[in-house]
Chain A
Amino acid sequence: ETGVTQTPRHLVMGMTNKKSLKCEQHLGHNAMYWYKQSAKKPLELMFVYNFKEQTENNSVPSRFSPECPNSSHLFLHLHTLQPEDSALYLCASSQDYDSTGELFFGEGSRLTVL
């Protein structure tokens, strides 16, 4: 239990579906992140939110749409995805963005796009 909870743990969707991934952190952190993890590749930073404001969008296609309603919750809305988007999507949080503190990760949402 890392204090970061992600749902669903597994998701299968067609290319025309719309779905959302949810992340919640119970650590009182101010920064939240979405990372994409593909087999044998480095974790790719997708989005960063600090105090609910998006501070980084790492050239992510618009079919991925983040939402951060408050410092404890982060969503990733998915629409018209491609099979190559199949991956593990990890949410993480840290005390602040511009600090040296470590990230706390959720267990991830395994996404399969058919």
Chain B
Amino acid sequence: GQNIDQPTEMTATEGAIVQINCTYQTSGFNGLFWYQQHAGEAPTFLSYNVLDGLEEKGRFSSFLSRSKGYSYLLLKELQMKDSASYLCAVRDGDYKLSFGAGTTVTVRA
């Protein structure tokens, strides 16, 4: 099976920056996804990386290093509405998508 690790919880202050790390070990690689899930809601797509480097989308950025099996999601200028669970997911060589357990981010005023 696949092995995807991310921290369980993180807390940060409104306006600050938080970096959520994800490490993975998979058989083959066809991309890494980040999803956001608010309590009681559907996970929603945030970003996709398949090549090494940084992808920026507004306040959110995602980085990938395939050789290190490593990604991070960077949340800047944190807002209260960013309090949610962030899921790292990796698509393996057979296109099967496996998820990490999620990182719960709490933004404090």
Give residues in A with beta carbon < 8 Å to B. 2, 4, 40-43, 45, 56, 90, 97-100, 102-108
Contacts and interface: CB of A to CB of B under 8 A. Distances in A.
Contacts of B50: 100
A40 B8 contact: yes
A104 B46 CA distance: 11
A45 B100 CA distance: 12
B44 A105 contact: yes
B108 interface: no
B43 interface: yes
Interface in B74-93: 87, 89, 91
Interface residue tally on B, bucketed by range:
20 to 34
B96 A104 contact: no
A106 B44 CA distance: 9
A42 B100 contact: yes
Main SS at interface, chain A:
loop
A43 B87 contact: yes
A100 B42 contact: no
Given A43-B43, A102-B33, 11 more contacts: A2-B44, A42-B100, A42-B101, A45-B96, A45-B97, A45-B98, A90-B43, A100-B50, A103-B97, A105-B42, A107-B40
B31 A100 contact: yes
A31 to B, nearest CB: 10
A88 B28 CA distance: 29
Contacts of A108: 42
Nearest to A110: B40
B101 to A, nearest CB: 5
Contacts of A2: 42, 44
A4 B45 CA distance: 13
B18 interface: no
A106 B42 contact: yes
Contacts of B98: 42, 45
